[in-house]
Each structure stands twice: as structure tokens, then as C-alpha cells.
Amino acid sequence: MISREEHESAQAYTANELAAAGIELTDGERAEIEVADFGLGRLREIGLQLLVYVNTDRYCAKELVLYPLQMCPEHRHPPFEGSPGKEETFRCRRGTVELWMDGERIGLRPGEQLTIPPDTLHWFRAGDEGAVVSEFSSASRDDLDVFTDPRIVRAPQVEP
């Protein structure tokens, strides 16, 4: 459960970081920023902030924003409904991010990108200054993500 205060603070941080990356949002989008603590209650350590621009049944585009040293834990995007699973490209916009995939560490700085094949375990963590990362992908179904840590609940629960 994410407290109202933590949720608002994370949305404000995300909007500020996107603005600092030159990314303009509408007012409606600002309110739609998703704050995910993966049900672990340690947002600044394990969590992710997201804004989904578009998600059709064919493609998806999002911005991901991370606090300094915040980690998105290991997961994969499994096959579903005739799709081999989500294929995604991360492009670093601001700060730095380290990605781990197949036991390999890939560091991304602004302007650098990496494509992750479907159904492939990966995790990532921002550097000391946090990170803004654009994600381009096939259709996204976050509810189907398979996390290695069985305690994880992907859908954020925010204090009413």
C-alpha cells in the first residue's frame, strides 16, 4: 500500500524529472502518472514511476522515471494471446541506468538504447542521479508480467 503522501510526492518528482528532460505533459497526463511499489512498501529502493502515452493492441510507448538508485526488480514478459510476449526498447533520456539481462550488465547513458526480446528475464536500476527512460514496445500487458520475487504484486495499491 502506497500512502497518499508518497504517491503525490512520487508523481511530482516524476513530472519534474520529465520536465527537466524537456518532456511536456498535459495536465491530465500529470494525474495519470503511475507509481508502482510492487507491493513491497519500499518505493525509493524497489519501485518505478511510469507514464503511458499510448498502448494499442499493436504497440506501446511509455516514459519510465526512477529515483536515484531505485530498482525495477527482475521480471519477464511472457507469451499471451498468440503473441510471443512483449518486446521492448529502452532508450535513456536523462541520468543513467544499468540493465541486467542474461547475466550481462548493460549501462545506458542519454541517447543510448537496448532492445529486450520477449519472455527474457531482466531488471534495471537507476544511477546516482536517477533516470528518465523512454520505452517503445509491442502491446503492453503489465498485468501479465512474471516477477522472480513471488511477493511482488504489480498493480499499485494507493491509500484511498
Q: What is the DSSP string of 4-58?
A: HHHHHHHHHHHHHHHHHTT----HHHHHH-EEE-TTSS-TTTB-EEEEEEEE-SS
Q: CA 38: distance to chain centroid?
A: 11
Name the one residue in this structure whose C-alpha cell is 503511458.
52
CB of 40 to its own copies, least distance (A): 30
Determine, following the binding rule CB under 8 A, whether residue 138 of this chain makes contact with its own copies.
yes
Who contacts 28 (Cβ-Cβ below 8 Å, separation ≥6)?
A: none
Who contacts 12 (Cβ-Cβ below 8 Å, separation ≥6)?
A: none
Selected from 69, 78, 80, 113, the binder of its own copies by CB under 8 A is: 113
Span of 15-23, 65-73, 123-131, 148-156 interacting with its own copies by CB under 8 A: 15-23
Span of 41-49, 91-99, 122-130, 143-151 interacting with its own copies by CB under 8 A: 91-99
CB of 54 to its own copies, least distance (A): 4
Q: Which is nearer to its own copies, 61 or 144 (CB)?
A: 61
Determine, following the binding rule CB under 8 A, whether residue 120 of this chain makes contact with its own copies.
no
Q: What is the DSSP string of 53-78?
A: EEE-SSEEEEEEEE-TT-EEEEEE--
Selected from 3, 9, 16, 56, the binder of its own copies by CB under 8 A is: 56
CB of 89 to its own copies, least distance (A): 4
| Residues near its own copies (CB under 8 A) | 21-26, 29, 53-54, 56, 58-61, 87, 89, 91, 93-94, 110-113, 115, 134, 136-138
